Structure 1
């Protein structure tokens, strides 16, 4: 009887296919009854826990010199089994767990082969050659072995997970040290592995590039540069800011890229903690896991390159960066895109929440908001929005200069801040959103109840009657609907959390932070425009202009993580302004009639 052999080894980094597959073939051939001959060889180097649709497509076997001719993988075997001119009448494997490590997929493969008239045999089980032989006990034995096989894998995964957690808690690093660190290797604590030269390592700052990590976080938090902008700044001096080196030298770009900057800003190991499970490297194609699934060491395990506060300030991926165009020198006859507008990206229309853009009229700079009818006519605010709102740059700058001189650097800034916070706390917080909160909560509760109903259908014994293939399709359909409902429920809960955060009363913050900024007395108007923008970026200036009453709302933010940097920028601005007020070499004029007394 012609027989096809089915083999499988796990992923290439945990087993040696050049040894495992020949052993499986030898054991299968030794168990064949007289007259049975192996005529085809199907094998894969992949995990047996993958979904059936994803099985048989791995090319990992090409990396090994396997002495067995290959006719395909599990997918090719199932496809040929359906053909009327197939080369085999039965399939044999070393043991049933080689077919799949999940009972559901193992029984499904067995069922598909039986529907095609092909028997699935295992070398470590009795092979029934008599069609009238009893199958109850062999089937029970196989199902028990499949269940034990699945249990064994799950147990090993759980134990491995616990081992990784202990590894992290003890401060050992997993994988390549991140940029800015080098590996501080120690002999492996297990004698057998130590004799093989294996080591474990902790992280130690790299004196050549540790400062680059700190500078990247500083530019992100202080100036809110985009990833690409930070990369461009670093590429200006590659000797001071050496770029990362990838594992494969042939892929090195020898310059900074936006993705390299992002990977640094998203790595919490720079706070001094060991962190694991940030990426789903097996099931989800290296996608990022939710922060709630990260595994942190209980305490810092290595020298940090940034503070946790600085990392948190740089972490939000959705935080808006200034989005400014490159600063160009102003020209009288230049178009709007080529002019230098000091307040570009800071000024927002209070009616529509859109950024106001710079315009030039008769040699003077203005900022305008002119919403387009074809794009915004369906918005709630469009009917009450004037066709055009204009505000002079000079008038706006005067208000901003006074704001920084009095409320940021002035001697009475703390008293002004306390008064403003008191006024804000007593003012109305906005429209009542309790109805929206109740609606979203009811929607989330409804989705949770519908999920429970789906689980009740899945647990019902009536669903197991009839065609097994139909029953499996029924379970898959329920699973898809369950996943869709869960994603929808999480989205609703996210909206609910955002709404509750927005409607919650804001705290006063740390009033002492303003004392970290030096008190300075200078004319803000005397600063160069580029230095003004640097101060605006550092303090995260936000300006909201209401064209209805020509009211202006100004907001500056002082973050504790970068308070020392803000102080240095303020002192530099004060020095620059005073230099303009009193140019070097200029002396006060004196009356010629004044003479020293005799």
Structure 2
């Protein structure tokens, strides 16, 4: 009597019952080996897509490891259905291992063991693996075609996270009678009374000529929670620290605020895990589709926050150029706490510099660093004098004269390739060069 190991798989993506699926696959395998042997081991993958390589499936990978063990406890492997375990080129990659370790592979469609020397057997199994890929692809095409039609002709909300400014509302029983019988409900978008006015404000600021960074600054100054802080239940993976340029631009570019449903902005794509090892299979990633691939509803599907004209105008509007402002230390001044260059910030009619990258939680770092330009520039001359005294730091500076004016001193720093580092906690200004550094305490 031959000792068999049963191999099966079920994916829960199409709402199959793993228990029932395992039962009928095992029953099919038992009928095949009846009178010839008995099943002594079981390898069953639940919740695994057929496109996943055997090495990355928990149970199938365990079976591959068992093949190498002389004391594996079974002589052959029987499957309940070949389309369940083989996909695309997986049979051609896996079956040679069975042959090498002299483990038989039994399949109901063959009526017994696969003969490695039979061209007909190998051809049949390759066909089943190809059919498995075609079946999965056909399901994907049908689902995408149906969702495209539902979005275009019905304006139906097809699931996912509601855009900032909207919330989900009940829209009655699910249109699929089978789903409705199970109690499933459909949903629609309705205005969020707290977030919708913020979206209106963002578009109004954009139409007034504000840039994305400036808009984010206005919202943070007004202590308005960013989208991830507004809805923490759906954004646990984000810190919700504040508004960013990317968040503002994403809202300004979202056509769903005009009241029309838009679908297929992103789609899942399968890419090779390792181009040099095709046997590892693929992984699924989300990618943005080109604008012409987006599907828009033919009529309004939910309340609009902005008009179509204002939305299109916002896409064409560029940020108004503000009055020319001079930042003497632009590109020279860095934050000693994070190492990044500090950006210019005009406030109260004078130049300032700030660093807003200190958002790390659980540390003693401040949320941001802010320093006035007129607090830094009076110390440039003293620092340059010390450089001249300690000329070993920069031989090219030995015979140079120290400019008496601040712009000249800044130009000298640039010529020598120096960097200014401001330490907010110690109130220290450090001039850093390739061959050393000199620090001075600010008053």
Task: Report the TM-score, using the length of structure 1 for normalisation.
Answer: 0.46
- 1:204 corresponds, among 176, 181, 190, to 190
- 2:94 corresponds, among 102, 109, 113, to 109
**CA distance in structure 1 between the aligned counterparts of 2:228 and 2:126, rounded to whole angstroms:** 58
- 1:76 corresponds, among 41, 62, 66, to 62
Bigger radius of gyration: 1
Task: Find the counterpart in structure 1 of residue 289 from structure 2.
Answer: 289
Task: Find the counterpart in structure 2 of residue 187 from structure 1.
Answer: 173
**CA distance in structure 2 between the aligned counterparts of 1:216 and 1:154, rounded to whole angstroms:** 42
Task: Find the counterpart in structure 1 of residue 150 from structure 2.
Answer: 167
Task: Find the counterpart in structure 1 of residue 23 from structure 2.
Answer: 22
- SS of structure 2 residue aligned to 1:286: strand
Deviations 1:511-561 (A, max 9, x none): xxxxxxxxxxxxxxxxxxxxxxxxxxxxxxxxxxxxxxxxxxxxxxxxxxx
**CA distance in structure 1 between the aligned counterparts of 2:149 and 2:352, rounded to whole angstroms:** 67
CA deviation after TM superposition for structure 1 residue 14, in Å? 3.0
- 1:154 corresponds, among 137, 146, 171, to 137
Distance 1:74 1:369, change over 3 A: farther
Aligned pair 1:233/2:233, yes or no?
Answer: no
CA deviation after TM superposition for structure 1 residue 277, in Å? 2.2
CA deviation after TM superposition for structure 1 residue 28, in Å? 1.9
**CA distance in structure 2 between the aligned counterparts of 1:30 and 1:18, rounded to whole angstroms:** 19
**CA distance in structure 1 between the aligned counterparts of 2:222 and 2:36, rounded to whole angstroms:** 75
Task: Find the counterpart in structure 2 of residue 325 from structure 1.
Answer: 344
For 1:356-367, what aligned pairs fall within 5 Å after superposition? Answer: none
- SS of structure 1 residue aligned to 2:42: strand
Q: How many residues align?
A: 335
- SS of structure 1 residue aligned to 2:128: helix
- 1:99 corresponds, among 85, 108, 126, to 85
Task: Find the counterpart in structure 1 of residue 273 from structure 2.
Answer: none
Deviations 1:103-148 (A, max 9, x none): x22332223322332222224440149x7x9945444443443333
CA deviation after TM superposition for structure 1 residue 329, in Å? 4.2
Distance 1:315 1:117, change over 3 A: farther
CA deviation after TM superposition for structure 1 residue 38, in Å? 2.9
- SS of structure 1 residue aligned to 2:112: coil
Can you give the 5+ residue segments of structure 1 that lack an aligned partner in the other structure?
Answer: 57-71, 341-359, 376-598
Q: Is the 8 A contact 1:81 1:113 kept in 2?
A: yes
- SS of structure 2 residue aligned to 1:237: coil
Distance 1:81 1:266, change over 3 A: farther
Task: Find the counterpart in structure 2 of residue 50 from structure 1.
Answer: 52
Can you give the 5+ residue segments of structure 2 that lack an aligned partner in the other structure?
Answer: 271-283, 323-341, 355-369, 375-402, 419-443
- Larger % of helix: which? 1
**CA distance in structure 2 between the aligned counterparts of 1:123 and 1:152, rounded to whole angstroms:** 19
- SS of structure 2 residue aligned to 1:182: strand
**CA distance in structure 1 between the aligned counterparts of 2:345 and 2:211, rounded to whole angstroms:** 15
Task: Find the counterpart in structure 2 of residue 6 from structure 1.
Answer: 7
Q: Is the 8 A contact 2:4 2:40 kept in 1?
A: yes
- 2:265 corresponds, among 268, 278, 300, to 278
CA deviation after TM superposition for structure 1 residue 27, in Å? 2.7
**CA distance in structure 2 between the aligned counterparts of 1:248 and 1:334, rounded to whole angstroms:** 35
Moved more, 113-122 or 253-262: 253-262
**What is the CA RMSD across the aligned residues, in angstroms?**
4.6
**CA distance in structure 1 between the aligned counterparts of 2:51 and 2:108, rounded to whole angstroms:** 21
